[in-house]
Chain A
Amino acid sequence: MREDRKCQEEVFRRYASKMMGVCLRYARHQMEAEDLLQDAFIKVFNNISKFEFKGSFEGWIRRIVVNTSLKNYSKKSFTYEQIGVEEQPENSIPPEVYAHLHEEELLKLIAALPDGYRVVFNLYAIEGYSHKEISVMLGCKESTSRSQLVKARKLLQTQILKLQKIAV
């Protein structure tokens, strides 16, 4: 399959949509997500012989996509001025507010997060990794992962509130 173009295309067609969803969560915008997806699928095809049929093929591809995204993140770091979100109390928004949000809105909220927040939130909240695992993956301290998650949540809540107010 490594050199079978038709098989590769079939694999791409089957999993591209799901993986594009993953990439959109890690990327800042559509273009970056497409780049990530492209890099990830090239890696998939280059390393397809290494797939050992342990676990699902989709899970294996997903791991490659996530790792490609993390590598892209670690390559660049952006430092912005600190924004005043620490003072805001957590859980100030009733949970039922979240339920009305659509997937596209949630993606936009995630995309607006700073890189560090976005990556940690994705890995912890959506992928289900523990802080210990995240610290290993990102090469940072567990405490850093925790604080990034808290900040991400706060920022997301702020943005959700803003959306709610606009809707009202």
Chain B
Amino acid sequence: MSQKHPLDDTFRRKLRQYEAHAPDALWQKIDAERSWQAKLHNRFHYYKGGLALVATVVLAVGLIVLNQDKTAVELGFFPINPEASTTQKTIAVVDASIATPSAPITVEENNIVQSNTSIESKLTLQPGTTSSATSLIETPMAAEIPAPNTAEESLVTVPSTPEISLQEENAVVLAQPSTTSFASFAALPASTFSPLETGSFATELKCVSFKTGKRHWYGELSTGVTTSMRDLQAREAEYIPYADGRAETEFTQLSFNTEARLSIVSPSGVAFRTGLNYTQLNERLDYANENERHLEITEVQGDDGEIISIDTIIVVGLREVKTQNRYRMLDVPLILGYELTHDKMTFAFNAGMYLNLTYRQRGDFISPIDQEPVSFSSNSQDAYPAYKSQIGLGWYGSIGMYYKMNARTQVYLEPSLRMYTQSSTIEEYPLKQNYVLGSLNVGLRRVIF
């Protein structure tokens, strides 16, 4: 142990409990630093409210947009010629066929509802007004239908009695009060709906498209490597050599980011994503000064090993400073996307912005004053003031490739590009420093509900 060595023992005994006066100003510095941290904390809380508001507004807008996709299925999806399927035409036919001034037919309700390919139409006829010989409900064969007739015209004529005349599978019911109901078209013979035979339908049929209208909420967690492309520009011409000096002594390294976000994807594929992104940019300061002066003491020994003199010499040597610089960013992504799904693969095209919450730095760079290494750490009082605490908005674009592992889980790969248009340095600092970040993230996403 160290105590066995007299030198160690002496140093330990005299310095272990050694006390030295700490300057009074130091407490003020610590207090100020703590207050600054508290301010930052408060500022974050302040911005948190604003950000929450912005996020809520964006979310609300996103939801409104997404909700537009959740409307009921329209009749247009059904393979009926739109011109031949209007309510007015049905009423007109009924009027033309059965209505008399003394015995009007009242259309109480007339709905055409597409649900499992069925149409229902209810008519209420006043008693005693259906004595006309021609007023029969029939469902004539397709061949009997004149070309310009509508689907309803081909099916509805006024019955003379409340009895119902059914043809084959048609389930047409007329009761007191007279109500006519048309059963499923699907139950009719295929020939009945043949556009070639009847001319009743549009020549270009639309496929039945029943969408579920279900929105998907996903939780996404990803991490990946980031490469930073840094642009240093002198604000004034006299600082161009300084910008070159920094470019020569600082080197970008592989960085990383990790992101947690919530994605809301509409049935049509429109997506809105938000969450939190943490990015750490790594750089290295590699400074070397070949003319560093250092004081050294050497002994001059005689032939027998005895010390005959001591020389104090100044060694001019190489001084190297290697510092790992780190820039840490916390951002809120606000992204709109569009997703296309094919089999187990989903492709997403995203664009949006990253709202920077905090931008913290730690490390050294060469000072613009004497070109010597100096700290720029955001938590150091003596650091050279160069960087902002927030760098505003960054524009974002990415392509996501998702692979469905099971009903609820997908893995994904997402190359992205993010560009901060604002300089990360303050106005007083002689250089502008902008970043473009390229990332390749791998992640997992799960259906939340």
Q: Which residues of A contact B (CB under 8 A)?
A: 3, 5, 8-9, 12-13, 16-21, 24-25, 33-35, 37-39, 41-42, 45-46, 75-81, 83-85, 87-89, 91-92, 95, 98-99, 101-103, 106-107, 110, 112, 121, 124-126, 128, 130, 153, 156-159, 161-162, 165
Contacts and interface: CB of A to CB of B under 8 A. Distances in A.
Contacts of A13: 27
Given A9-B27, A25-B15, A80-B317, A38 B10 contact: no
A17 B20 contact: yes
B8 A20 contact: no
A161 B16 CA distance: 23
9 contacts: A8-B34, A18-B19, A39-B379, A77-B321, A79-B320, A98-B10, A121-B11, A126-B16, A165-B310
Nearest to A96: B6
Nearest to A164: B310
Interface in B176-212: none
A162 B1 CA distance: 27
A112 B297 CA distance: 10
A18 B317 contact: no
B18 A103 contact: yes
Given A87-B301, A157-B7, 17 more contacts: A13-B27, A17-B21, A20-B21, A25-B18, A46-B37, A75-B324, A78-B319, A78-B321, A80-B317, A95-B10, A101-B14, A103-B18, A106-B15, A110-B11, A125-B5, A125-B8, A162-B297
A17 B2 contact: no
Contacts of B38: 3
A17 to B, nearest CB: 4
B366 to A, nearest CB: 14
A126 to B, nearest CB: 5
A76 B323 contact: yes
A88 B299 contact: yes
Interface in B6-56: 6-8, 10-12, 14-23, 26-27, 29-31, 33-34, 37-38
B299 A24 contact: no
Given A12-B27, A83-B315, A77 B18 contact: no
A19 B15 CA distance: 11
Interface string B67-106: 0000000000000000000000000000000000000000
Contacts of B382: 35
Contacts of B295: 112
A20 B324 contact: no
B11 A126 contact: yes
A80 B319 contact: yes
B15 A38 contact: no
Most buried by A among B6, B18, B33, B37: B18
B57 interface: no
A153 B19 contact: no
B318 interface: yes
Given A75-B323, A110-B11, A38 B317 contact: no
Nearest to B14: A103
The dominant DSSP class at the A interface is helix
Contacts of B322: 76-77
A65 B57 CA distance: 47
B294 interface: yes
Interface string B275-287: 0000000000000
B6 A95 contact: yes
A85 B298 CA distance: 7
Contacts, number: 150
B416 to A, nearest CB: 31
Contacts of B310: 158, 161-162, 165
B293 to A, nearest CB: 10
Contacts of A102: 14
A92 B302 CA distance: 14
Contacts of A34: 22-23, 26
Given A17-B19, A24-B20, A37 B26 contact: yes
A89 B305 contact: yes
Nearest to A19: B22
Most buried by A among B17, B26, B301: B26
Contacts of B320: 77-79
A128 to B, nearest CB: 6
B317 A17 contact: no
Interface in B233-272: none
A153 B1 CA distance: 14
Nearest to B25: A34
B362 to A, nearest CB: 9
A100 B204 CA distance: 109
Contacts of A24: 18, 20
Given A18-B17, A34-B26, A76-B321, A128 B2 contact: yes
A116 to B, nearest CB: 13
A68 to B, nearest CB: 12
A128 B10 contact: no
A27 to B, nearest CB: 11
A25 B17 CA distance: 11
B381 interface: yes
B183 to A, nearest CB: 74
A18 B16 CA distance: 9
A38 B24 CA distance: 12
A81 B291 CA distance: 12
B298 A84 contact: yes
A80 B294 contact: yes
Contacts of B11: 106, 110, 121, 125-126
